[in-house]
Amino acid sequence: MRIAVIGATGLVGREMLTVLEERGFGKEEVMAAASPKSAGKKIGFAGRELTVQSVEDVIAARPEYAIFSAGAAASRQYAPRFAEVGTTVIDNSSAWRKLPEIPLVVPEINLDAIKPTDRIIANPNCSTIQMVLALSALQREYGIRRLVIATYQSITGTGIKAVRQLEAEEQGHTPSEMAYAYPIHRNLFPHGGDFQEDGYTTEEQKLVDETRKIFADPTIQITATVVRVPVVGGHSEAVNVELRKDYDLEEVRQLIAATPGIILYDNPAENQYPMPILSHHRDEVWVGRLRRDHSQPNSLNLWVVADNIRKGAATNAIEIMEGLIRR
């Protein structure tokens, strides 16, 4: 099988290669593509070196799958061309997520949204993936009426430039290039993505639109605040959930614990709760701090943590591909 990774030199692209190797694709013909300035570079993979190729050359090779993490503009330009030659594209950008004809997939929840004729599949935003997986059993058993979300998002969601900014600031240096308008070391700011006319950011809007699409329920009421924090290991989310009917908290715990891909880590008496330091380099979504909301009927609070580069991007994309292969 021939698998292409588009954007292979970036943070997520490199992690995609790592996940492919970990999941047994090391003997397949894996192709790495990136921007023209990266062409010819060498990337280690499964005990050998891959030479970074141009996207045009990879299209000509007609791979079975092309996994994209090259940004929305590149995806809009090249994904349809891959699709035209019969390649199934799994795209990690925002380019296709809102289009009703493009499936938006977390494989544990809605792999069946992909039709045999679909050639472009959207990978959801990282903060959406971990939250909907944590909530999927509750949506199925009780129905979700409303979500109030505050995210605490790792700088790795912005990319390598943000990591270098934080590292320079931690060492007391002036960063050569600023990913953010403000220092991030010993700081945080309520700004992720671009501000819209209504005062919300595009990152906040993604949580609204993508959650409704994945759950196939446009009636869920959702409001969100995105915060960028000086963390490398993963995204954290405080989620308040109003269900459509009352619940038993122990049953909720059991439902969440039984969800594939979830680790329920919730023992306050022993100071056990999810943290980015636990999720770093892991594929699981960690859930804890489960408790009833006494201020509102049928409501509860939970805390959700996951490595945004792994399950929030690379791993989810490759799990989509694995699901299609099995099917």
Query: How far, in Å, CA of 208 to CA of 189, rounded?
Result: 20
Q: For the domain that residue 16 is a member of, what is the CATH number? A: 3.40.50.720
Q: Beta partners for 48?
A: 45
- Note whether 100 and 135 are same-domain residues: no
Reference 299, options 308, 289, 307, 291; nearest CA is 291
Domain count, the chain: 2
pLDDT at residue number 290: 98
pLDDT at residue number 245: 97
pLDDT at residue number 7: 97
Q: For the domain that residue 295 is a member of, what is the CATH number? A: 3.30.360.10
pLDDT at residue number 322: 98
309 alpha-carbon distance from chain centroid: 7
Is residue 126 annotated as part of the catalytic site, yes or no? yes
Is residue 235 annotated as part of the catalytic site, yes or no? yes
- Note whether 163 and 103 are same-domain residues: no
- Note whether 138 and 221 are same-domain residues: yes
Q: 126, 173, 281, 294: which is the annotated catalytic residue?
A: 126
> Could you tell me if 247 and 298 are in contact, meaning their C-beta atoms sit under 8 angstroms apart?
yes
pLDDT at residue number 23: 97
Query: How far, in Å, CA of 119 to CA of 55, rounded?
Result: 17
- Note whether 148 and 297 are same-domain residues: yes
- Note whether 156 and 182 are same-domain residues: yes
SS3 88: strand
pLDDT at residue number 222: 98
- Note whether 99 and 140 are same-domain residues: no
- Note whether 117 and 202 are same-domain residues: no
- Note whether 164 and 180 are same-domain residues: yes
Burial 108-137 (b: 16+ CB within 10 A, else e): bbbbebbeeebbbbbbbbbbbbbbbbbbbb
- Note whether 18 and 162 are same-domain residues: no
Q: What is the pTM of this model?
A: 0.96
Reference 8, options 318, 39, 156; nearest CA is 39
- Note whether 289 and 192 are same-domain residues: yes
**What residues make up the domain containing 48?**
2-124+313-326
Residue 191 to residues 31, 62, 294, 297, Cα–Cα distance (Å): 35, 40, 30, 31
What is the mean pLDDT for each group of 10 consecutive residues in the chain (327 residues)? 97 97 97 94 96 97 98 97 98 97 98 97 98 98 98 96 96 95 97 97 98 98 98 96 98 98 97 98 98 98 98 98 96
- Cα dihedral 229, 232, 235, 238, rounded to 10, equals -50
- Note whether 165 and 301 are same-domain residues: yes
Q: 173, 235, 280, 281: which is the annotated catalytic residue?
A: 235
pLDDT at residue number 48: 96
- Note whether 86 and 227 are same-domain residues: no
